[in-house]
Structure 1
Amino acid sequence: MRLSLAIAMAEEKVKEGGKNKMSDKKWFNKGAKAGKVEKREKLLKTYEKAIEVISKYAVTLFIKGFELSELGRHKKALKIYKKIIKLFPQLNVAWFYKGFELSKLGRHKKALKAYEKAIEIDPQYAEAWSNKGVALSELGRHKDALKAHKKAIEIDPKNALAYTNLGELFFKLGNLKKASENVEKALKIESDLVPALNLQGRIKIEEKAYDAASESFKQAMSLDGANPVHFLWDTYTNYLKIGFNLDSEDKKYQEEIATIIRNLEKMNETLSKNQKQEKEMRAYVLYFLGHFYLKSNDILTAKEKLEECIKLKSKSSIKASARELLGNIWNYRIKPPWWRWWLNSPLYRWPKRFGFSILLLLISALLLLHPFIPGWFPLLQINWSLYAFLIVLLIIILFLPNIKRIQIKGIEVELQSPPPYEPVLSPTVMEEIMKEIEAKYTKLE
């Protein structure tokens, strides 16, 4: 019992992954009991060993937290860091990673408080200052964010990520010159810093230096191949490049679009192998495939890709965008016959089928039963003109998908409006989509 008592209890806790129900306080009480019969020196060794084992337990928890975060399971990772903080309330790194996970969950106010706690424990914690700046920026407090980033650089002038985060802030504020200056400083310190390379590529896009942008994204891909964000940015860069240099009617333009499609198909195949974890990213890739197949005039394949995208039931806004684009293709490009519009619509299929059945039932009933109505209901006064009008109206509704206009007594009524928009993967749309993707996938290093 003596010296090994507290140690054994602690080691058991580590082996069981924290499932041992004996509290930390009880471990030390056991050590104290041993101390009553041992010399003070042995008692101190008991506590030192217990602290060492608890520290190993904390390290184990950190590793588990990192793994959970890498898998995108940020809520569970957050619980791990909260557990570490209970063991070591003054451990600044635990507060830092608590803030990190809160940021990944979009809870920026709470993340800010966690970073501030890490800084309170260690005012010279440069990484915490830098991430505090990111949180402040997300909250729209750009002046405070600028101060935080500059403080991080003041503490650690060799912190490449701090320069990158400051560059991100300037990029967000539209100051490309200062954004570029800070990225160059970051890459001078650490030439293979992925976030800096990604930002450099986005700056080059804004400068319309598409070859340089593509080079930055390709370098980021070579260093961080598991992250599809860089691939999508490179794909978009190539799209902008061919749109800037080639006419959409040129053969070369279609060849380049075909190359983009092949690359996206490869990425789709890769992501489909890990469907559970990569479902969200695959939804984006399928949406882009729908757009590019449409640009290559392969309308039916575009429709299929967008249907796949919708079936993934993504929680992001891309699902709504895919439905909108699919509706545009179905109604204005494919233009199905009226019966297919009701029975085979890719959107709201079952409600439309139900509506189709009700219309057919009503029309059939009105046509077949009208000879019997006078005999069945002799006292019922029926306005047969109105009766006929109702039948005609129901038939018009049935054929409405293929009726473009109706002309009555010289008055023409337009029943089908032109397409609400021409589907274009514009820079504005792409920027919004990529911002959403980056929020989910870009890692704070």
Structure 2
Amino acid sequence: MKYIYIIILMTIGLGSCDEKDELEKANEYYNSGDFKKAIQSYDEHLKMKPADEIALYNRGRAYEELGLYDKAIKDFLKVIEIAPTNIGAYLSYGKQFYREKDYDNAAFQFEKAYKLNTNSSQSATLLARAYHKSGEVEKAMEFYNIAINNDNENAEAYLYRGALKIHLNQSGGCNDIKLAENIGYKGARDLYKKYCN
């Protein structure tokens, strides 16, 4: 009886190692940019653990990288169902609306993510961008400011706040774009040359 118990424990342990190995392998494929192989490995892992929110989210991101947006959305929605506090899933789901130029629904999803963590500079930036695109410039400015207050190295927030200031004929726009350039945002130099020289 004692030996049977040990064999059962070893079998459970090996199963856990296989699950972990498959997930690690999937993550390695994802990080190397081999999204098709990553999806295959996530699929294998999810056969054993279908409610693994990390594997589901990462598979959704891999689908997204391949432009398979319908499949990505299904994974993001499943993550939200399983773990309604997963900020990444709301942001990724919101980005789909943003890609479709449905800025109101994008803002709705980004706002959910922001409310889950009001210190998130990324959530605030994406929310600002959605408001900016939908023409709600006061809200956009508010959230660009929040994004920068949450992370004073957020080049994207500086860049787009600067662009919005220039559009609104407010002072400080060129300074913001220069800060984005100094932080290393690609394209900031061209924008600075276009509007600030």
Q: 2:19 aligns with which of 70, 74, 90?
A: 90
How far apart in 2 are the matches of 1:206 and 1:256?
A: 20
Number of the residue aligned with 2:112: 185
Instruction: Note if 1:196 corresponds to 2:123.
Output: yes
Number of the residue aligned with 2:83: 156
Number of the residue aligned with 1:383: none
Q: 1:289 aligns with which of 181, 186, 189?
A: 189
- The secondary structure found in structure 1 opposite 2:33 is coil
Cα deviation for residue 222 of structure 1 reads: 4.1
Alignment of 1:381-420 (within 5 A): none
Q: 2:160 aligns with which of 236, 243, 264?
A: 236
Cα 1:257–1:177 change in 2 (3 A) is closer
Number of the residue aligned with 1:361: none
Instruction: Note if 1:114 corresponds to 2:41.
Output: yes
TM-score by length of 2: 0.73
Cα deviation for residue 95 of structure 1 reads: 4.3
One-letter code aligned to 1:183: F
One-letter code aligned to 1:144: K
Q: 1:216 aligns with which of 135, 138, 143?
A: 143
TM-score by length of 1: 0.36
1:95 touches 1:114 (CA, 8 Å); kept in 2?
A: yes
Alignment of 1:24-423 (within 5 A): 88-91=17-20, 95-96=22-23, 98-225=25-152, 228=153, 230-243=154-167, 245-246=168-169, 256-260=172-176, 262-264=178-180, 267=182, 281=184, 284=186, 287-297=187-197
How far apart in 2 are the matches of 1:164 and 1:193?
A: 11
How far apart in 1 are the matches of 2:62 and 2:83?
A: 19
Number of the residue aligned with 2:13: none
Cα deviation for residue 139 of structure 1 reads: 1.8
Cα deviation for residue 155 of structure 1 reads: 1.5
**What do residues 399-431 of structure 1 show as CA deviations (whole Å, max 9, x unaligned)?**
xxxxxxxxxxxxxxxxxxxxxxxxxxxxxxxxx
- The secondary structure found in structure 2 opposite 1:89 is helix
1:214 touches 1:237 (CA, 8 Å); kept in 2?
A: yes
How far apart in 1 are the matches of 2:195 and 2:18?
A: 57
1:261 touches 1:293 (CA, 8 Å); kept in 2?
A: no
2:147 touches 2:157 (CA, 8 Å); kept in 1?
A: no
How far apart in 2 are the matches of 1:134 and 1:108?
A: 9
1:210 touches 1:241 (CA, 8 Å); kept in 2?
A: no
How far apart in 2 are the matches of 1:294 and 1:171?
A: 26
How far apart in 2 are the matches of 1:258 and 1:293?
A: 10
- The secondary structure found in structure 2 opposite 1:140 is coil
**What do residues 50-75 of structure 1 show as CA deviations (whole Å, max 9, x unaligned)?**
x9xxxxxxxxxxxxxxxxxxxxxxxx
One-letter code aligned to 2:129: R
Percent identity of equivalent pairs: 24
- The secondary structure found in structure 2 opposite 1:158 is coil
**What do residues 145-180 of structure 1 show as CA deviations (whole Å, max 9, x unaligned)?**
221111112212232322222112222222223222
How far apart in 1 are the matches of 2:78 and 2:97?
A: 16
How far apart in 2 are the matches of 1:258 and 1:210?
A: 18
- Give ranges in structure 2 of 5+ residues lacking alignment: 11-15
Cα deviation for residue 104 of structure 1 reads: 4.2
One-letter code aligned to 1:90: E
How far apart in 1 are the matches of 2:173 and 2:108?
A: 34
Cα RMSD for the two superposed structures: 3.4
Cα deviation for residue 200 of structure 1 reads: 1.0
Cα 1:294–1:164 change in 2 (3 A) is closer
Cα 1:232–1:155 change in 2 (3 A) is closer
Higher helix proportion: 2
One-letter code aligned to 2:176: I
Q: Which has the larger radius of gyration?
A: 1
How far apart in 1 are the matches of 2:125 and 2:26?
A: 23
Cα 1:133–1:259 change in 2 (3 A) is same
How far apart in 2 are the matches of 1:260 and 1:188?
A: 26
1:205 touches 1:237 (CA, 8 Å); kept in 2?
A: no
How far apart in 1 are the matches of 2:85 and 2:191?
A: 43
